[in-house]
Chains A and B, each alone.
Chain A
Amino acid sequence: MTVHVDIVSAEESIFSGSAEMVFAPGEMGELGIAPRHTPLLTRLRAGEVRIQPAGGGEEQFYYVSGGMLEIQPHVITVLADTALRAKDIDEAAALQAKEKAEKALQDQESDIDYAEAQAELARAVAQLQTLERLRKTRSS
Chain B
Amino acid sequence: MAGAKEIRTKIKSIQNTQKITKAMEMVAASKMRKAQDRMRASRPYSEKIHNVIGHLAQSHPEYHHPYMQDREVKRVGFILISSDRGLCGGLNVNMFRAAINSMKKWSDKGVDVDVCTIGQKASVFFKRLKVNMVAQASHLGDNPAITDLIGTVKVMLDAFDEGKIDRLFIVHNEFVNTMTQKADVIQLLPLESANDDELKHHWDYIYEPDAKEVLDALMMRYVESLVYQGVVENIACEMAARMIAMKSASDNAGTLIDELQLVYNKARQAAITQEISEIVSGAAAV
Residue B262 interfacial (CB < 8 Å): no
CB-CB < 8 A to A28: which residues of B? 208-209
Q: Are B52 and A42 in contact (CB under 8 A)?
A: no
Residue A41 interfacial (CB < 8 Å): yes
Which of B203, B207, B221, B228 makes the CB contact (< 8 A) with A79?
B221
Q: Are A43 and B42 in contact (CB under 8 A)?
A: no
Residue A17 interfacial (CB < 8 Å): no
Q: Bin the interface of chain B by size.
A: 20 to 34
Task: Determine the main DSSP class of B at the interface with A.
Answer: helix
Q: Are B44 and A68 in contact (CB under 8 A)?
A: no
Q: Bin the interface of chain A by size.
A: 20 to 34
Which of A16, A40, A42, A79 makes the CB contact (< 8 A) with B49?
A79
Q: Are A77 and B42 in contact (CB under 8 A)?
A: no
CB-CB < 8 A to B217: which residues of A? 43, 68
Residue B275 interfacial (CB < 8 Å): no
- Complex interface: stretch among A6-14, A104-112, A124-132: A6-14
Residue A26 interfacial (CB < 8 Å): yes
**Chain B, residue nearest A72 (CB):** B55
Residue A59 interfacial (CB < 8 Å): no
Per the bound structure, the CA–CA distance linking A16 and B44 in Å amounts to: 10
Q: A26-B208, A27-B208, A70-B52 are in contact. Are A41 and B218 (CB under 8 A)?
A: yes
CB-CB < 8 A to A32: which residues of B? none
**B211, chain A: closest CB distance, angstroms:** 8
**A28, chain B: closest CB distance, angstroms:** 5
CB-CB < 8 A to B45: which residues of A? 8-11, 13, 79
Residue B261 interfacial (CB < 8 Å): no
**B64, chain A: closest CB distance, angstroms:** 15
Per the bound structure, the CA–CA distance linking A8 and B221 in Å amounts to: 13
Which of B48, B55, B145, B206 makes the CB contact (< 8 A) with A8?
B48
Question: B-facing mask of A96-138, CB < 8 A → 1, else 0?
Answer: 0000000000000000000000000000000000000000000
Residue A38 interfacial (CB < 8 Å): yes
Residue B20 interfacial (CB < 8 Å): no
Q: Are B42 and A12 in contact (CB under 8 A)?
A: yes
CB-CB < 8 A to A43: which residues of B? 208-209, 213-214, 217
Question: A-facing mask of B27-62, CB < 8 A → 1, else 0?
Answer: 000000000001001101100110110011001000
CB-CB < 8 A to A40: which residues of B? 205-208
Q: Are B206 and A10 in contact (CB under 8 A)?
A: no
**B200, chain A: closest CB distance, angstroms:** 13
Question: A-facing mask of B190-220, CB < 8 A → 1, else 0?
Answer: 0000000000000111111100011101100
CB-CB < 8 A to B209: which residues of A? 27-28, 42-43
